[in-house]
Structure 1
């Protein structure tokens, strides 16, 4: 397994952008900016959950660990891309994020579904299942 993008906090990411492999990027990563989002999310052939969150958001602090727990069984097939809205306000505006946490399920760069607020693990599993069929 390769290390994540040098500026990412998570090292569970396989195949960062710019690598010579054609495998999709899966695992968990923190999005650094719009270019990083373009490369890791929009150009990714793997399904992606985009977690728009904020450090000051109490529900975000509860949802984050739930997303990561569910991802443990999907590390080789799905990417969880975490976007801090305070550091990436342009992305939050582009995707019309009016409340956090908001999670957007994407496949081939297109939004498939989204949910806002704290959800149970079972709900998150169903969202991932809808992406991987």
Structure 2
């Protein structure tokens, strides 16, 4: 959770804490804060333990971070029970989008061909003046 806080941020938080609470009240505030954090962790651990007991022995190894919808869906898609990896590898979305874009612009989706210049409008030879 706090893995991305650097030394400069910690020093800034410390200075702000000293300015807000004062140097004499700061140790008491830190002590109260750590007590609150311990109580929240104990409450969370008790709630997880009770949920595991209610669900039964088949769910004793459940990870509560797995209940996050994004994590749950990602985990289900990574397990290849439905053959989704084969489908995903066979789909080339960039090619499909390029084909749709070419069709929308009226281009041929096959190999790139240069259009032939219209007949009768030959470009003048290099170095020749046309007047």
Q: Where on the TM-score scale, by shorter chain, does this alignment land: which range?
A: under 0.3
Query: Which structure ranks higher in relative contact order (CA pairs < 8 Å, sequence separation ≥ 6)?
Result: 1
Q: State the TM-score, normalizing by the size of structure 2.
A: 0.17
- Structure with greater helix share of residues: 2
Q: Which has the higher strand share?
A: 1
Structure of greater Rg = 2
Structure 1 length-normalised TM:
0.17
